[in-house]
Amino acid sequence: MLEDSRSWDNPRLSGVHWEELAERFGTPLYVYDAAVIGRQFRRLSEAFGEVPCDIKFAMKALPTLGILRLMRSLGAGIDAVSLNEVKLALHAGFEADDILFTPSSAPFGEIEEAHALGVQLNLGELATIERFAERFGSAASCCVRIRPDIRDGGHAAIQVGHAGSKFGVPSAELSRVRELVAANKLRVNGLHVHTGSDIQDPETFLRSAELLFTYARDFGALEFLDFGGGFKVAYRPDQQAADIDRIGARFSEAYSSFATETGLAPRVWLEPGKYLVSESGTLLVRVTVVNRSGGRTFVGVDSGLNHLIRPMMYGAYHHIANISNPSGPRSRYTVVGYICETDTFGEDRELADVRQGDLLAIANAGAYGYSMSSNYNARMRPAEVLVADGSAELIRERESFDDLIRHQR
């Protein structure tokens, strides 16, 4: 909930106090601010307001039903990457035609079932596209994911548009797709490109857009062009998020030129995940121990990489604030978790003096936090709370030991 108007080290939550949430729901606790999600959705909608645009929430970032229902109320659609994500979206009240399904190396049975459910398919492997054409012919439509051969993104693991990536059909293989279309064996109703995540440079988006506009000329009257997501959010106080207004304005100019030159006017789809929910989320943790060792002061908390793996998996920075003592004198600490591996949330961080029992807030935890959590070390996943209009709603219960053994024999 990193509002521009407030300090990173003394985060505010409209109408609700952090300590009250921790006392009511316990810790560790994921807290999401509905107002921030709404703000981000409106910013993106307004930035691309000059083009016929639909926003498909990349639900892999935060697939909790309460969040999905909020997205539906805002007018978003869904970008799903597994059949179960498709089913979750349907369960949350989305219509099938609101959902885009982009599988990767999925069993073909998932694709057949998704087709039967009526969702929009987005296929990025030539072998799968050929099998789809053989199975359904031109009676069924699909979108084709194209690999742009552009490398960008905040970490190698989330750079998915480069030449060595498994994602998308290389441009050299698009001729085969066009052959299938020409032979009336395949109906393509959209094209898709996604470069990666955590991208700030507007030129990356514009290069991808120009490539997609170029390819679209060869496919004629498409229903939509999907430009993916990946808009950068600020994780550090000194970082800048992607200039979404500038990107939207530049994109609108490019789209207008494309439409004028071709007479085509496909809808524009965007797939933001992190951009919509990252800043909305905070992981509240309680300090279990403050230990001086080897010249450093370690702050142990009641959470670990089983709840927020991004710092360990990607080297990601998440700002940490001491909610219990925001104005105290500051010292340097290394904040660590309770897992039997090195699960460091923040190394050598300057924090207001930390004591056992203090409540810490780990910021920007709304995206790829709970959704990448696990039961490692037989630890249970935390509860999730959505704050809206000054009240807090429990949208996922804390796991219990019974949950841990429920499916074991």
CA–CA gap between residue 320 and residue 351 (Å, rounded): 8
Our answer to whether residue 143 is catalytic in this structure is no
Q: Per-domain residue ranges for the chain?
A: 18-30+280-405, 48-276
**Dihedral angle over CA of 137, 97, 40, 34, nearest 10:** -140
Residue among 324, 329, 240 nearest 287 (CA)? 324
The stretch 48-57 carries a mean pLDDT of 96
Phi, psi of 147 (to 5 degrees): -85, 120
pLDDT at 11: 85
pLDDT at 149: 65
Judged against a pLDDT cut of 60, whether residue 158 lies above it is answered with no
**Helix-strand-coil percent breakdown of the chain, rounded to 5?**
35, 25, 40
Q: What is the pLDDT of residues 258-307, one digit of tens each?
A: 999 999 999 999 999 999 999 999 999 999 999 999 999 999 999 999 99
CA–CA gap between residue 378 and residue 214 (Å, rounded): 51
Judged against a pLDDT cut of 50, whether residue 1 lies above it is answered with no
Same fold, 18-30+280-405 and 48-276: no
Question: What is the homologous superfamily of the domain 18-30+280-405 according to CATH?
Answer: Lyase, Ornithine Decarboxylase; Chain A, domain 1 (2.40.37.10)
> What's the first-to-final CA gap in the chain, in angstroms?
42
Q: What percent of the chain has pLDDT over 70?
A: 92
CATH code matching the domain that covers 48-276, chosen among 3.20.20.10, 3.40.50.80, 3.30.1240.10, 3.40.1500.10: 3.20.20.10
270 CA to centre of own chain: 12
Q: Which of 53, 142, 143, 340 is catalytic?
A: 340
Q: 55-59, 177-181, 293-297: lowest mean pLDDT where?
A: 177-181
Strand, coil or helix: 361: strand
The residues with which 31 forms a beta bridge, in sequence order, are: 282, 385
Two structure tokens written together for 277: 């929910």
Buried b / exposed e over 39-63, threshold 16 CB at 10 Å, is ebbebbbebbeebebbbbbbbbbbb
CB atoms within 10 A of CB 331: 12
Residue among 79, 145, 91, 139 nearest 115 (CA)? 139
Q: What is the pLDDT of residues 182-200, one digit of tens each?
A: 888 899 999 999 876 666 6
Strand, coil or helix: 208: helix
For residues 333 and 297, is the Cβ–Cβ distance under 8 A? yes
pLDDT at 88: 99
